[in-house]
A and B are shown apart, each in its own frame.
Chain A
Amino acid sequence: MSDIDVKYAALGGSAGWLGPAKTAELVAPDGIGHYRHYRSGSIYWSPASGAHEVHGLIRDRWASLGWERSFLGYPLTDETTTPDRIGRYNHFQGGSVYWTPATGAHEVHGAIRGKWASLGWERSFLGYPLTDETTTPDRIGRYNHFQGGSVYWTPTTGAHEVHGAIRGKWASLGWERSFLGYPLTDETTTPDGVGRYNHFQGGSVYWTPATGAHEVHGAIRALWASMGWERSFLGYPTSDELSTEDSTGRYSEFQHGSIYWSAGTGALACRETVRLHVKCLTAPTRFTINQMISNMRLTYATAQVGVKYVSFEVLNLPALNDIDVGACTMGTVTAEQTQLFANRNNAGANDVVAYFVRSTQPPFNGCASHPANRPGAVVASGASAWTMGHEIGHVLGLSHVSDNNRLMTGLGTDNITNPPPDIIASEKTTMLASSFTN
C-alpha cells in the first residue's frame, strides 16, 4: 500500500467522504510526488511532505495557482478546522490556504504569513484573509487584506500590519502610493498608553479615541518628534498636515497647539491659538482674505501663536458696510460698531472675529476697537496684506511701534520692509498671555 492508499483508508476509503477514486495514483508533473484524485478531493504525497488530502474550495484555490508546481508546493496538512471552528485551512510547503464561508479561500504565504502567524493567525484582530497575496499597484510591494486589516510587505520595509482607523487614514490618502509609502511598523501603542501609531516610510499616522487618526510628516513631524512626540506639550495631532489658505505654508494642529512650516521659517511650534472667525460684508480688493489669514499665520507662528480659522460667514448688512468707527480708540465704540460686533455666529466668548467691510468712516485700513466681550476688528476692503494680523494684534493687546520691520508698525503695514514682519519678545509674551489665545 502506498502512503496515499494509507491516507485514503484512514479517511474511510470509498465509503468515506472522499468517495471512489477517479484516477489511478499518478506521478505529479513535477516528477517528485504522487497524487490521486477522488470524487470529492485529492490526496497528494511527496517524500518531504507526506500524504495529505485537499478538497473543496481550498483545493480549487491551490489548483488555480498551479497545484504542487505553484509556490505553495505540496500540502503539509489535511484540511483542518481552525481553532475558532469557523474556518478551514491547509498548510502547504510554501504557505497556507484559509477558507471560511464568509471570506472564501485565499492563500497566505511568506513574510506576510509570518506576520499573520506571529499575531495569532485568524484569532488575531486580523481575522481571515480576504485576498490572496497581491502585488501593489506600484509593483514594489505585496499585501493581503484581512477581515480586520492588512499586512503590507516590501523587500526594504518587511511585513507590517495596518488596521482600524489608521488603515482608514492611510487608505484615504492613497495607500502606499501616497506620500506615506509603506508601513515601517505594526500599529503600536504610544508610550503614554493612550494612542496608537504606525510609522510609514514618509511619515506617521497617530490615533487616539479622542482625536481620531491623523498623519504627520516631513519637517512638522521632525519637530514634533524632537519635542517628544505626543508627550510634548502639543499632545496628539488633531488634523492632517494642511496647506495654508494661500498655499505658501503648511501646518498641523495638535491637541494643545500647532506646528507651522514655511520655506522661509522652517517648522515652528505654537503653544497658543487664536480662534479666528471671518464675517464678510465686502471682500477685500487688493489681497484675498486667504492671503491675509496666511500672512497672519506666518507672523503669529513666529510668536508661538497658531491661528485656527474656524468659520467664514457672509453678512448682508448694507447699513454697516461703510462703518462708522469714530476715532477708533480702544475701549470706545460707535453704535454701528456695537451693531456689527453683535454678529458672532459660531464664535465662542474668547474667539476673535474679523469683519471685512468696504470702508471705515473715517477711512482707515482697519480698526481694532471693539465692544467689551466681543473681541474682533474691522478690516477695510483696501487694506494691506498684513492689516488683519496687525488689527488682531491690537485685540491681543499690542500697541503701535515706529518700526516698519514689525507687524505692529504704526507707520503703515503697506510699508513693511522685511516681510514677514517681526514680533519681538515682549509682544510675544503679551500675545501668549492674552485671554484671546488659548
Chain B
Amino acid sequence: MPITMQQVLAEIDKDEPKYEALALLGPEALPHLQLIVEADDPLKSSKAVYAASLIGGAGAAEILRKAADHHDPQVRIAVAQGLQNLAAAAPTDLVMKSLNDHDSGVRKLALLTAGKLNRTEFKQRITAIAQGDPEEHLRKAASVAAKKLEVR
C-alpha cells in the first residue's frame, strides 16, 4: 500500500509526534513531507524536516537542503538538528551553512551536529564561533566542540 499524505499528517499533526513511527513510513513518505515543509506552518514544517532526516537517504538530504533556505528559523533549526540523523550522508556544505546561519538557535544545533559528525572541515568555523560569536553560550559550546576536534 502506498503511503498517503493522510498517514503522514496523522503523525505530523500530533502535538508530540512519534518520530519513530514517521521514520518507519520510509522514503515513500518523503514527497508528502516535502509538501508539508513547503506549506505555511513553520512548526509542521520543522516536524516534517526532522521526520525526513530520520528516514534518511538522498531524498531526505534534498528536503533538508531546500529547507535550509526556509525563512523561519524553526525550520532551519530542524535542518541543523536533522543533519545529525543523516550522519555520514550529511552534506558538509549544509552543516557549514547552518554554522553560518544568522540565527543563534540554528548555530546552536549546528554546533551540536558538527560536534557529532566530527569532521575537520568544521574546525575553522567552530573555532571562529568559539572566539567571536555574539552569544556567550555558543562561544562556550563551540570551545568544547573545538577541543573535541583537536583531540581527534
Chain A residues within 8 Å of B, Cβ to Cβ: 285, 318-319, 321-322, 328, 358-359, 361-367, 380-384, 387, 390-391, 410-415
User: A411: which of B10, B42, B44, B74 is its contact (CB, 8 Å)?
Assistant: B10
Known: A359-B77, A361-B77, A363-B43. A322 touches B13 (CB 8 A): no
Known: A366-B15, A384-B15. A361 touches B109 (CB 8 A): yes
User: A365: which of B15, B73, B77, B137 is its contact (CB, 8 Å)?
Assistant: B15
Chain B residues within 8 Å of A, Cβ to Cβ: 10, 13-17, 19, 41-44, 46-47, 49-50, 73-74, 77-78, 81, 104-105, 108-109, 135, 137-138
Please, which residues of chain A bring their CB within 8 A of the CB of B47? 362-364
Complex: A278 Cα to B94 Cα, angstroms: 36
User: A359: which of B44, B104, B105 is its contact (CB, 8 Å)?
Assistant: B105
**Interchain CB contact under 8 A, B135 and A318:** yes
**Interchain CB contact under 8 A, B108 and A319:** yes
Please, which residues of chain B bring their CB within 8 A of the CB of A358? 73-74, 105
Pairs across A and B, CB under 8 Å, 20 listed: A318-B135, A322-B77, A322-B108, A322-B109, A361-B109, A362-B19, A363-B47, A364-B47, A365-B16, A365-B43, A367-B16, A381-B43, A381-B74, A382-B42, A383-B43, A390-B15, A410-B16, A411-B10, A411-B13, A415-B13
A358-B73, A382-B74 known; 19 new pairs, CB 8 Å cut-off, are: A319-B135, A322-B109, A328-B16, A359-B46, A361-B77, A362-B50, A363-B17, A363-B47, A364-B47, A365-B15, A380-B43, A387-B15, A390-B15, A410-B14, A410-B15, A411-B10, A412-B15, A414-B13, A415-B13
Known: A319-B108, A382-B42. A359 touches B16 (CB 8 A): no
Complex: A318 Cα to B50 Cα, angstroms: 22
Please, which residues of chain A bring their CB within 8 A of the CB of B109? 322, 361
Please, which residues of chain B bring their CB within 8 A of the CB of A387? 15
Complex: A319 Cα to B138 Cα, angstroms: 8
**Interchain CB contact under 8 A, B15 and A322:** no
**Interchain CB contact under 8 A, A319 and B137:** yes
User: B13: which of A361, A380, A381, A412 is its contact (CB, 8 Å)?
Assistant: A412
**Interchain CB contact under 8 A, A318 and B81:** no
Chain A residue at minimal CB-CB distance from B44: A382
Please, which residues of chain B bring their CB within 8 A of the CB of A366? 15-16
**Interchain CB contact under 8 A, B105 and A364:** no
User: B50: which of A363, A380, A414 is its contact (CB, 8 Å)?
Assistant: A363
The distance from the CB of B51 to the nearest CB of chain A, in whole angstroms, is: 9
**Interchain CB contact under 8 A, A382 and B16:** no
**Interchain CB contact under 8 A, B46 and A363:** yes
In the A-B complex, list the 5 residue pairs whose CB atoms are closest, starting with the nearest: A382-B43, A412-B13, A319-B137, A365-B15, A322-B105
Complex: A362 Cα to B10 Cα, angstroms: 17
Complex: A141 Cα to B19 Cα, angstroms: 70
Chain B residue at minimal CB-CB distance from A322: B105
Please, which residues of chain B bring their CB within 8 A of the CB of A381? 43, 74
Most A Cβ at <10 Å: residue of B16, B43, B49, B81 = B16
The distance from the CB of B123 to the nearest CB of chain A, in whole angstroms, is: 23
Complex: A384 Cα to B16 Cα, angstroms: 12
Complex: A306 Cα to B142 Cα, angstroms: 46
Complex: A363 Cα to B77 Cα, angstroms: 9
User: B78: which of A318, A363, A365 is its contact (CB, 8 Å)?
Assistant: A363
The distance from the CB of B88 to the nearest CB of chain A, in whole angstroms, is: 20
